[in-house]
Amino acid sequence: MAKLIYGDGREVGGGTASLDEVNYKLDQIHDLVAGMNSSDGDNTDNLIEVTFIYRDRLTGKEKAINQYYNKGEDAKFPTDVGDVVETEDNPALTFQEWNHTSEELKNIQHDFVVGATYIPTDGKTYIYLDLDDYTGLTTAITTYNLSADRQWYIDWGDGSPIQSTTTNITLVNKTYETYGRKVIKVWLNSEPNNRCWLGFGRNIFNENNSGPRSAQLKHVYIGAGFNEYSTIADRCQRFESITIPNNIKSLGMAQETFYNVPVKYFTLPRSIDTMHLGAEFTFAAPIAEYYSLPISLPLNITIRVTNCYKLKKFVMPYVVDDRVLMLLGNNCVELTRFYFRPDMVFRTNTTGGGGSTTTALNFPSVKKLDLSRAKFNNADDVSILPSNTIDMASLEELVLPEGITQMFNTSIRNCFSLKRIKLPDSVEEITTPIDSACSSLQEVEVGKGIVHLSSRLIGGWNSVEQLRRLRLPDTIETIDNNMLNSDFTRALLLEFPASIQSIGNSNLNGIWLQEVICRSIIPPTLGTQSTNAGVLFYVPDDSVQAYRDATNWSAYGNRIRPLSEYRGNYEN
């Protein structure tokens, strides 16, 4: 087992004296450059970091501990886990299980987040409200039960009579007349024999995204009576924690489930196997540090991760059909590691002609993005990289997947630190796939699938000042008018392969251009150019005179030289 490093620099091997004592220094163990292929990861030393999220037995407070293992080694789950005693902020809780097994972690072999699941010991659902600043307000609980012979009971926690209901869809309102802590208890008279939801749609404890009701909800502990979870905490400004037990099998109508709530840790149980009505999870908790999602999530999941300013690591689950729609990372400024299944398919909403995308990768602090084995498929199962797909300010290394056939307007945008882009050989059609905001870009290499360059490579109003080098494949035959003029105004060298047959107007007008190499034996058709007077042209030795005699090439006369004289002055 790898060595562990205490906060004061002391090293220990193979274990810890106390879970609370250890303060790992990630920068001494891992390079914090993100790797997205889970089979490879970013760990050059073969270390796997597993973050365990669980509740302290005595305080009931959630905590996280990092442990390190060698690849293939069995993970040793924390032993300080068990039933939780009742406190002011939680009922007595029974530990159920971890949402991943040691064998699963051993097979995944990349950094992961594992969470413990709990259920209230008496089986009831507990909802904690704080009415410290408000009184005379109405709160609400929504349940859904398709089994008419089951009866719900609600104890509102204020000494009023226990309320019961047997209706299928129930929106139960309650007006409190006093300040203070209120603990609501909800339970079913027997085991459910059909779908039973906690929550139904949005705005249960959310009053138009703000207002008194949104400030009431603080904790939720789901009990045994429910088997589905919907939205209950969306935009609740003081919401701190939720426990979801393994009797929850389904997520229904869970849109924007945890949007703008101060949750620090979040765990989904491994029992979830179904989603309904296009359920999606929005993680936008500004203080969230870790989310633990089970390995397999149901079909058609939509995941959004945004405004998680404290999020350290996000692990994409293994979705049942290997597809995920919409994955953002706006303002996740501390997120430096991001993992997902290597063969993940990102579903886009593009059927042709470019358009916008509902898939986006926007993680501002991630420096390395390896998509070599990922897929971006639209509804027709065509592999397309739509507009605005990759938007990562700190990105330095990018590997795009082979298999993509089309790249549309600014597929790659706002990657301010990216210096080099290689388009996959599978790409056959492009429409200005790179945004000019990629201001550090120095080199673009076009893949072998491009035969006819009919679109600019760089979109936007401004040229990329540091862009110096264009590499064209030996398959390209024609370049339309003005394809290179705006994008490569500061390029020192342009090189055309032996396959080139036609170069349109205004492609050799770069103000810094010094040398042009054309390897075609037969001079390609050349449009009119406004080339600098000092530019030198290098062509095959036996074709020098043919170039000097060809239309528009003849204007360069003795500046056309044999390739054997080329000295590679500007190749770097």
Confidence of residue 142 (pLDDT cuts 50, 70, 90): low
| CA–CA dist 46, 29 (Å, integer) | 11
Q: pLDDT for 241-254, tens place per residue?
A: 899 999 998 876 55
| CA–CA dist 253, 230 (Å, integer) | 5
Domains of the chain: 3-120 (no CATH), 477-572 (3.40.50)
**Looking at residue 36, what is its pLDDT?**
32
Q: Are 538 and 532 in contact (CB under 8 A)?
A: no
Amino acid identity at 248: I
**Looking at residue 238, what is its pLDDT?**
81
Which of 148-157, 278-287, 549-558 is predicted least confidently? 278-287
Average model confidence (pLDDT) across the chain: 79
**Looking at residue 18, what is its pLDDT?**
33
Write the CA distances from 404 to 130, 287, 307, integer angstroms: 52, 37, 30
DSSP secondary structure letter of residue 207:
S
For the chain, give me the number of helices (H) and strands (E)? 3, 50
What percent of the chain has pLDDT above 90?
34
Q: Which residues pair with 407 in a beta bridge?
A: 385, 430
Q: Is the dihedral of CA 353, 357, 362, 368 positive or negative?
A: negative
Confidence of residue 2 (pLDDT cuts 50, 70, 90): very low
Q: pLDDT for 348-395, tens place per residue?
A: 765 544 445 556 788 888 888 888 878 888 777 788 888 888 988 899
| Mean pLDDT calculated for residue range 55-78 | 88
Q: Are 470 and 494 in contact (CB under 8 A)?
A: yes
* Residue whose C-alpha is closest to residue 112's, from 99, 121, 131, 123: 99
Name the pTM for this structure. 0.75
